[in-house]
Copies of this chain bind each other. A is one copy, B any other.
Amino acid sequence: MLFQILDYLGVAVFAVTGGIVASRKQLDFIAFLFFATLTGIGGGTLRDLLLGVPVFWVVNETYVLVCLIVSVFVWFFAHWLERLSKPLRWADAVGVAAYSVMGAAKALSVGDTILVAILMGVSTATFGGILRDTIAGEPPSIVKPEIYVSAAFAGASCFVLLVQFDIPNALAAGFAALLALGLRGGAIIYGWKLPGYGSNAGRQD
């Protein structure tokens, strides 16, 4: 149940970020719809292709409808959203948190190992945003020094770990998603970052 909510939530908030990018580029409604859908379902599509299972929105078109509804909403209310503080980055943060857990959970559910599940969580949490930014011609968030991939990594690892210790799935998912969101949120508000390459011990020059 919490999984289902996280799943729709991840798709919906990523769709919101796609819509915001389209609104900033002043695209028309169909392009809007396209950007929102692409960003919403991009990460999960990659996940399913890599796992070799049927693509989720081809099987269940409710996800496409979610993106459609979100597009209509953002089309009418993007100017309100823009009054919030950093709406794009916060929606993206919620999406990363939800998708990192869902990616890892789906990989575990088809019998993959811990390492593959973590990698699947990280890559599918970040893929929608990479797609959105690359096509829109913006620098992807992933190459900024702030915590981003690390938040997805923390979410996916935490979920996988808790499940290993027989914590119920829903509890593990909720906790892991909150951890990822907390880390990414800290990066948005306070600029949290891990030490970057230049500052590591072995670096001389």
**Interface set of A (CB-CB < 8 Å, partner B):** 22-23, 25-34, 37-38, 45, 49-52, 54-55, 57-58, 61, 64-65, 75-79, 112-113, 115-116, 119, 122-123, 126, 130, 134-137, 139-140, 142-143, 145, 147-150, 153, 193-198, 200-205
Interface on chain A toward B: helix, strand, loop, or mixed SS? helix
**Would A34 and B142 count as touching, CB distance under 8 A?**
yes
Contacts of A134 in B (CB 8 A): 134-135
Chain copies in complex: 3
| Residue in B112, B137, B197 whose beta carbon sits within 8 Å of that of A26 in the complex | B197
Q: Say whether B139 contacts A202, CB under 8 Å.
A: no
What residues on B are CB-neighbors of A196 within 8 Å?
26-28
Q: Which residue of B lies closest to A82 (CB)?
A: B205
A54 contacts B57, CB within 8 Å?
no
A32→B137 contact, CB < 8 A: no
Across the interface, do A34 and B126 meet the contact criterion of CB distance under 8 Å?
A: yes
A-B pairs with lowest CB-CB distance, top 7 = A28-B194, A26-B196, A30-B150, A23-B197, A76-B202, A26-B198, A31-B149
User: Is the pair A31, B195 in contact by a Cβ cutoff of 8 Å?
Assistant: no
- Whether the Cβ atoms of B50 and A119 lie closer than 8 Å is no
Q: How far is the CB of A38 from chain B (nearest CB, A)?
A: 7
Q: How far is the CA of A73 from the CA of B120 in the complex (A)?
A: 23
Q: Given the known A-B contacts A142-B135, A143-B27, A194-B28, are A119 and B37 also in contact in the complex, defined by CB atoms under 8 Å? A: yes
- Which of B55, B143, B148, B197 is within 8 Å of A52, CB to CB? B55
